Amino acid sequence: MLPMIRAYESCGTTRKLSLSFDDGPANETSMLLDELKTNNMLATFFLSPAAWRSDSLKQCALVKRMIDEGHEIGLHSWTHPDLLNVPKSQFTEEVRLVSDFVSKCSGRGDGFRPNQFRPPFGSLSLEQAKLLTSYGFIVSLWNIDSKDTADGANLTSIEDFISQRLRVVADGKVGGNVLLAHDRRIGGFSGDFVRYVKSEFVELQGYEMVSGTDCYEQCDSRSRDSGICIDPRAEFRTVQIRDWINHVEQSKGRTSP
Ligand SMILES: [Zn+2]
C-alpha cells in the first residue's frame, strides 16, 4: 500500500545530486540539452508548458529530445499557478493537461506518464499532496535553490549562492542534494552552469548524479517509512512538510493498537 504522502526534498545520506530544471520547455532548453550532452550529465526536467508564451510544437519536440537523451521528466503544472489558490477541479486539470501533453509528445503512446510532480513555488496543501500520492505521483521538492531567478543573477551569483547554501544545508555532513534551476534563466550561460555543477559536485566532491526517482529511492528507511524524505540537515521548508509528517505520524498513532 502506498504511504499517505510520497515526497522528497533530498536524496538520503550519501553523496548524490539530483540536478533539476523547472518551467520548460523554453527556447533556451535546446542549448541546455546541448551542454548536458556535451558534459555527459543527466537532469530531471519539471515541465510547465503553458506557463510562458512558447511554440507548442517546438516544446513538444524538446520533450521528446529530453526523453531520447535519457533525462527524466516530471510535471510542474500546466499554467504554473500557486496551487494553494486553486479549487480542486482546477488542480486536477493542471495535472491532467501537462501529463497528457508529455504523454503525447513522448511519441511512446499513452503508457508514458511521468510519476513525479513538483508544485510551482513549492506551494502544496496536505490534501493536494495526498491526492497526488493517490494518483501515483511522488512530490518532488528541493533543498538547494540556485536562485537563478533572482534579479541580475549570473554565474558568479549562482555559484556563490550554491556554495553558501551547501555550507548551511550540509553543516559538514554528507548527504544527497536536490539542486533547483530553471531552463529559461540558465539560458545564455547554460554551458558555464553545467560545467560548474560537474566540476564542483562530481569532480571535486565526488557526488553521483541521480534522477529524481533515484533520489527518492535513496531516502533512509526512517524517511521511507513515513513516505516523506526530508533533509535532516536543514531547516529549509518551502512547503509545510513538517505538518505533513506530523499528520502522517498522528494518523499512524490513531491506527496503532
Ligand atoms: Zn516553476
pLDDT above 60 for 166: yes
Q: Between 226 and 201, name the one with better pLDDT.
A: 201
Ligand 1 mean position to 24 CA, how many Å?
9
Q: Look at domain 7-255 and name its CATH class.
A: alpha beta
Ligand 1 mean position to 49 CA, how many Å?
11
For CA atoms 56, 62, 67, 71, the dihedral sign is negative
Q: What is the pLDDT of residues 39-75, one digit of tens each?
A: 999 999 999 999 988 889 999 999 999 999 999 999 9
Ligand 1 mean position to 250 CA, how many Å?
31
Ligand 1 mean position to 249 CA, how many Å?
30
pLDDT above 50 for 256: no
pLDDT of residue 169: 63
Ligand 1 mean position to 255 CA, how many Å?
37
pLDDT of residue 253: 72
Q: What is the pLDDT of residues 176-225, one digit of tens each?
A: 899 999 999 988 889 999 999 999 999 999 999 999 999 999 886 667 67
